[in-house]
Amino acid sequence: MATLNLPHLKSDDLPIVIAAGFILVILAAGTAYTLSTLGTAPLLTPNYLLTQLQTGAFLGIVACGMMTVILLGHIDLSIPWTMTAAAMMATTIGGPGAIPTGLAIGLIVGLVNGFGVAYLRIPSMIFTLGVDSVMRGLMVAHTGGFAPQDTATDLMRYLAAEKVLGVPVAVFVWAAISIVISAVLARTSFGKAIYATGNREAAAYLSGIRTRWIIVGAFVISGLCAASAGMLLAGYSNKAYQGMGNAYLLPAIAAVVIGGTSILGGRGRFIGTLVGVILIVLLNSVLSIAQMPEAGRQIIYGLVIIVMLLVYGRTTRVTS
């Protein structure tokens, strides 16, 4: 820390500052582009930014859950089909029971994942991948391989697509979940236990922390977040469809890691994940505004993630 000449900046904060700075760079570069081609600056209008937040809400909610699992040094690869399954079952059941049904799916998947990782001691990367595959099979069996005909309930549509005071409701949902998760991580003994277990499971266990419960708890949070995001997504597009969650797994992991959370667990602040989500959403959006062909977008997107992690790796080695 002394090497940074920033006395109040912890090493954990540095990635967040860098990521936030990069968001400004993206906005500036995008605005420069639109000014030179169109002569206007649509990126800086509140309308555009709110649309980005609306898009980011789904990813943001998934990333909240993903972060709790990554803090333990584990990973949840079952997110895509947890989202899809929750959305499909919610639209199938319909009525007032739709959202509780979807959350129940998330809870069950989380419990199964947690049990497999904490009690059966199967590496999370393998176990959650297997659970994802099982969920996909179950959903294909459920729908017969076709897109289900059921539509989202009014409440799901309201939460996902309506606006209050010009702000999308989904953003409020994202904000509410974020506040809960950040409070849990920073201010409860459960959250502290997540950090401790992620740092050194043996030491946490020998400190009398019930590490297995902690692992199960984190996977349940991840499952619930994925289920919520899946149902919102179904509300947004008015129906559930096969593979609707596939586009969220890797960006969620990227957002968490860009936000400074160590992929090995134990380090990372919640605000970083928020910044990471916004960065990824803006990057995608600006690249598409710039009419970059798909191939170029993917390359730039991947390079940004790699370069940022390289930068973080350097700084943590210097500071620790």
Exactly one of 37, 40, 133, 207 binds other proteins (CB under 8 A); which one?
A: 207
268 binds other proteins (CB under 8 A): no
Contact 12, 313 (CB under 8 A): no
209 binds other proteins (CB under 8 A): yes
Token match 């996909």: residue? 136
CB atoms near residue 231 (< 10 Å): 32
Size of the site for other proteins (CB under 8 A): 24
16 binds other proteins (CB under 8 A): no
73 binds other proteins (CB under 8 A): no
Near other proteins by CB under 8 A, which window of 41-49, 126-134, 147-155, 189-197?
Answer: 189-197
| Least gap, CB of 22 to other proteins (angstroms) | 25
Region 76-95 residues binding other proteins, contact defined as CB under 8 A: none
SS3 230: helix
- Selection from 216, 219, 217, 195 nearest residue 207 by Cα: 195
7 binds other proteins (CB under 8 A): no
- Selection from 268, 243, 279 nearest residue 69 by Cα: 268
Near other proteins by CB under 8 A, which window of 16-24, 122-130, 204-212, 247-255?
Answer: 204-212
- Selection from 225, 221, 280 nearest residue 254 by Cα: 280
**In the complex with other proteins, which residue's Cβ is closer, 83 or 214?**
214
> CA angle, 281 as apex, 280 and 286 as ends, to 5°?
100
Contact 279, 26 (CB under 8 A): yes
188 binds other proteins (CB under 8 A): yes
312 binds other proteins (CB under 8 A): no
Region 166-185 residues binding other proteins, contact defined as CB under 8 A: 183
| Least gap, CB of 100 to other proteins (angstroms) | 23
DSSP string, 96-163: GGHHHHHHHHHHHHHHHHHIIIIIS---HHHHHHHHHHHHHHHHHHHHTTSPP--B--HHHHHHHH-E
Exactly one of 142, 163, 187, 314 binds other proteins (CB under 8 A); which one?
A: 187
Query: Which residues make up the interface to other proteins (CB under 8 A)?
Result: 10, 183, 187-190, 192-193, 195-196, 199-200, 202-210, 266-267, 320
